[in-house]
């Protein structure tokens, strides 16, 4: 069964950081399995068309069957057994904020008026690309307990300055999952 990963874009603009993360997501799940919703601006549509299918409408208007919203505030955790029954996984296109302001709940979950499941993937906040990677692993049959994570990663900008990203990252071969392009971007802008 084909499963679609949906990102409801909820940032006021499609900034460089966000676009780099979306590119990374398109690589993780492939263009044919990725939808972007709530894309109002034509310039943004053009950019995102290269990465997935683009909708101007919010996902709340699509009336999807068998969907699951990934919301850190949900009380239930997604497990491999049930994950196969969902056709759509819906994520907030929201940059991390610390402490979290429950934006997924307020700006996404509470706006959906079709029947949908709501699940968390642990208590810690992940970046959208890591959340998508995690769900992809769960769908493949790997439970959260079998995955390795690192909470907070540090990016060395120069000899003096290090930036901490206080989110949960998947560890792949003991390395946190973050795109090289994003690390480059952070190093350039935080100098
Ligand atoms: C960087 S998170 C934004 C979280 C936001 N600060 C909040 O408090 O809702 C981006 C998206 O990844 C998904 N996500 C991240 N961590 C999650 C978790 N622990 N459980 C469920 N979904 C998560 C959600 O879909 C969320 O909207």
The model's pTM is 0.97
On the question of pLDDT at 9 being above 80, the answer is: yes
Q: Which domains does the chain have, with CATH numbers?
A: 4-142 (3.40.1280.30)
On the question of pLDDT at 13 being above 80, the answer is: yes
pLDDT band at 92 (very low <50, low <70, confident <90, very high): very high
Whether ligand 1 lies within 6 angstroms of the CB of 166 is answered as no
* Top mutation candidate among 123, 126, 165, 178 for ligand 1, by most atoms within 8 Å of CB: 126
Asked if 73 and 109 touch (Cβ cutoff 8 Å), the reply is: yes
Distance 160 CA to ligand 1 centre (A): 31
Whether ligand 1 lies within 6 angstroms of the CB of 100 is answered as yes
What are residue 54's DSSP bridge partners?
36
Closest atom of ligand 1 to 90 CA is: 25
Whether ligand 1 lies within 6 angstroms of the CB of 122 is answered as yes
Percent of the chain with pLDDT over 90: 95
On the question of pLDDT at 144 being above 90, the answer is: yes
Distance 122 CA to ligand 1 centre (A): 10
For 32-90, the pLDDT digits (tens) are 999 999 999 999 999 999 999 999 999 999 999 999 999 999 999 999 999 999 999 99
On the question of pLDDT at 190 being above 90, the answer is: no
Q: What's residue 107's pLDDT?
A: 97
Dihedral sign from CA coordinates of 117, 123, 121, 130: positive
């Amino acid at each position: 069964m084909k499963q679609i990963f949906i990102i409801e874009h909820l940032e006021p603009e499609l900034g460089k950081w966000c676009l780099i993360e979306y590119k990374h997501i398109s690589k993780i799940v492939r263009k044919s399995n990725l939808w972007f919703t709530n894309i109002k601006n034509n310039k943004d549509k053009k950019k995102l068309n290269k990465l997935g299918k683009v909708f101007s409408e919010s996902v709340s208007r699509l009336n999807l069957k068998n969907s699951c919203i990934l919301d850190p505030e949900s009380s239930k955790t997604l497990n491999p057994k049930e994950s196969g029954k969902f056709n759509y996984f819906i994520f907030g296109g929201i940059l991390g904020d610390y402490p979290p302001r429950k934006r997924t709940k307020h700006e996404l979950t509470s706006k959906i008026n079709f029947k949908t499941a709501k699940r968390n993937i642990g208590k810690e906040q992940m970046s959208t690309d890591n959340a998508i990677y995690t769900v992809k692993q769960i769908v493949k049959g790997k439970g959260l307990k079998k995955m390795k994570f690192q909470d907070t990663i540090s990016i060395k900008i120069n000899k003096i300055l290090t930036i901490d990203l206080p989110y949960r990252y998947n560890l792949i071969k003991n390395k946190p999952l973050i795109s090289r392009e994003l690390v480059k971007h952070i190093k350039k802008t935080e100098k």
